Structure 1
Amino acid sequence: MNNDIQLDADGRLRHLITTEGLPRPLIEQILDTAESFVPEMGAPPKKVPLLRGKTVFNLFFENSTRTRTTFELAAKRLSADVINMDVGTSSRTKGEDDLDTLFTLQAMGADIFAIRHPDNGAAARFAAHAAPGVAIVNAGDGSHAHPTQALLDVFTIRRHRPDFSNLRVAIVGDIVHSRVAHSTIHALRTLGTRDIRLVGPAEFLPADPAALGVSATENIAAGLRDADVVMGLRIQRERIADETLAGVDDYHRRFGLNPTNLAHARPDALIMHPGPINRDVEITADVAYSGQSVILEQVRNGIGIRMAVMALIAGNSAAPPSARPVHGLV
């Protein structure tokens, strides 16, 4: 992806559309900034005035509870005014073009849009038409990208396994339809991870994994062998033809994250999942809430990551992308 649309002339974050092509120092700056926003376990959430007077619109053309809620909490903890737009029951049903919705809300004084859309490339289209000073954050577009999810994933990993260069990561499930997988692969590779295995039935694996810099296998034992991190993915039923689904009816036994299959990974492997989880399909409840699982930690860290992205985009940091933690943000 051409980063001209994401970065300003000084290489700072202008919009967040994808992790693909983001420079490593910029990803690290986002992660470091998020550290200042994630409270210690048991501590009250931090609220800061960085976006006071700014208006954030959650513009969701697809249903979401987890992502929209964490964007809302993140914006409110930055002291922004937040508007949640249920686009499916508003102007879009009257025939209004998506860009007309953007232009109308910009005229109302929007500063940041968190946008979820069913079409690949939609976030970039919005960014190309956004007014000067209005920022677009991609909250998931089709099967293309979900950058804030990828950033919270690598943030969570870094807190437990900071040496990305020696990580062995297995991503299990519906990779080809997963915007989370695509964005997380790009983020991991940028941070130095080279051993990334994609595991799943042939229908769910990319045609050319080598082009992504990863390996792929239908063998769960080989894919999970000595893995440090195991990430399960939801089967994207809404994006899959019925005949494809019919071929994966034995999915849980072959590819589910259950004690039998996870025995091939390291005993202390981190268990991750972007949610929502489908119990006894891609993961069992005892695994999802085990001591190895960081799934709830991912949710918690997502608020800090989204706070960091919006704070940096809004221009509240004068530090260049190569900077380390932005201590002045707290």
Structure 2
Amino acid sequence: MNETIVKQRSLLGLKDMPQEEITELLERAAYWEAQPDKLTPVLQGKFVANMFFENSTRTRFSFEVAQKRLGAEVLNFSAAVSSVQKGESIYDTVRTLESMGIDAGIIRLKPIGVLAELATRVKVPLINAGDGNNEHPTQALLDLYTIRKEFGELKGLTVSIIGDVLHSRVARSNLWAMRKLGMNVRFCAPPGMAASELDVQYVTIEEALKSDVVMMLRVQLERHENGVFQTAGEYREQYGLTVERAASIADHAIIMHPAPINRDVEIDDVLVEHPKSRIFQQMQNGVAVRMAVIERALA
């Protein structure tokens, strides 16, 4: 596979992906969701490595289910029980697995910029499963897919993303992809949790609730030792989606969250599986979306 094809089949982010390619992936995800059989071995004989240098539950297992449904052979790498603990670099780890014959790699890591560099130095497609606070493209794709299933048309919808935007790769991938598809994106964040480098409108929590989609983000209080909130309860009171606030959401609107969820912090416990919530549907849709992404990399 030549360098140009590898680059085209990799998925490093949505910021530079054309709108047409995003739409094609959503269409292909719909195809996979509609398949009656759990196993369609179009990737039989392909080896895919899940290389997670950062903890994950939903993303890692969603990718693994997607890979196995496509018939691929799956290798699960965990940094905690690898030679990374002995000082091996991320690059050497990836090159080691490439040398052993993998056909594609799914990577999650903390440092920003490392994935883009890796993609220029290896000869297999790489898929970004989350890098720092830079991007999380498959999460944004499954969010778009969930919204499209709900409303049919994406163009013209208003989405409010609420919470710790500063540290959120989900917010960034969604912002860039949603704008390409004609959606109106607004942020709502406490002081110290806003991303000033992003050109986007910030609104109050009351304004944010006047949207077609209300997307809550996990509050990463561990990253805000000197923040404005001393307790999780204080954050909930000022920025959480409480039962009282949820009562003001439009009848047609939906509630989303990329998870993991801090129940009774950014969203009240009873709202997680509320009729307006699509949180577990997002997780369900992630498998079909990731099947489309993996197929693009390897088919």
Question: TM-score if structure 1 supplies the norm length?
Answer: 0.85
Runs of 4+ in 1 over 6 A off after TM superposition: none
How many percent of aligned residue pairs carry the same amino acid? 41
Residue in 1 aligned with 2:161? 171
Q: CA RMSD in A?
A: 1.8
Name the SS of the counterpart of 2:165 in structure 1: coil
Q: Does 1:182 align with 2:172?
A: yes
Q: Which residue of 2 aligns with 1:270?
A: 254
| 1:19-67, Cα deviation, whole Å (9 max, x unpaired) | 1021111001100000111148xxx653112111010101000111111
- Judged with a 3 Å threshold, the aligned counterparts in structure 2 of structure 1 residues 197 and 264 are, in CA distance, closer, same or farther, namely farther
**Of 186, 198, 218, which residue of structure 1 is paired with 2:187?**
198
CA drift of 1:258 comes to 1.7
* Cα pair 2:208 2:214 within 8 Å, conserved: no
Residue 323 (structure 1) aligns with: none
Whole-Å separation in 2 of the counterparts to 1:258 and 1:72 = 34
2:84 maps to 92
The amino acid across from 2:264 in the alignment is D
Indicate which of 266, 282, 292 corresponds to 2:276. 292
CA contact (8 A) 2:229 2:235 kept: no
8 Å CA contact 2:132, 2:169 repeated in 1: yes
Match of 1:244 among 227, 246, 250: 227
- 2:138 aligned partner: 148
- Whether the 8 Å CA contact 1:255–1:261 is kept in 2: the answer is no
The within-5 A match list for 1:17-56 is: 17-39=12-34, 46-56=38-48
Residue number in structure 1 paired with 2:52:
60
Work out whether 1:118 is the aligned partner of 2:110: yes
Deviations 1:89-112 (CA, angstroms, capped at 9, x unpaired) = 211011111111111111111111
Q: How do 1:248-259 and structure 2 match up within 5 A? A: 249=232, 250-259=234-243
The code of the aligned residue for 2:287 comes to I
Name the aligned partner's letter for residue 24 of structure 1. Answer: Q
**Cα drift, residue 150 of structure 1:** 0.4
SS of the aligned residue for 1:203 comes to coil
Query: 198, 201, 215: which is aligned to 1:215?
Result: 201
1:119-158 CA-to-partner distances (Å, cap 9, x unmatched) read 1122212211112xx1100000011100000000001000
Cα distance in 1, alignment partners of residues 110 and 188 from structure 2: 25
Shift of 1:263: 3.1
Residue by residue over 1:68-120, the C-alpha shift from the partner in whole angstroms, topping out at 9 and shown as x without a partner, is 00010100001000011111221101111111111111111111111000111
Q: Could you tell me how far 1:223 is from its partner in structure 2? A: 2.0
1:328 maps to what in 2?
Answer: none
Structure 1 match to 2:101: 109
Structure 2 residues not aligned, in runs of 5+: none
Q: What corresponds to 1:326 in structure 2?
A: none
Whichever residue aligns with residue 108 of structure 1, its letter is M
* Cα distance, 1:277–1:45 mapped onto 2, change above 3 Å: farther
- Give, in whole Å, the separation in 2 of the partners of 1:245 and 1:306: 37
Instruction: Report the secondary structure of 2:215's partner residue.
Output: strand
Distance of 2:231 and 2:22 partners within structure 1: 36
Counterpart of 2:62 (choices 70, 89, 93) is 70
| Structure-1 separation of matches of 2:37 and 2:178 | 28
Return the offset for 1:234: 0.2
CA distance in 2, matches of 1:245, 1:112: 43
Q: Within 1, Cα distance between the matches of 2:220 and 2:31?
A: 34
- The aligned counterpart of 2:218 is 234
Corresponding position of 1:311: 295
Distance 2:78 2:147 in 1: 33
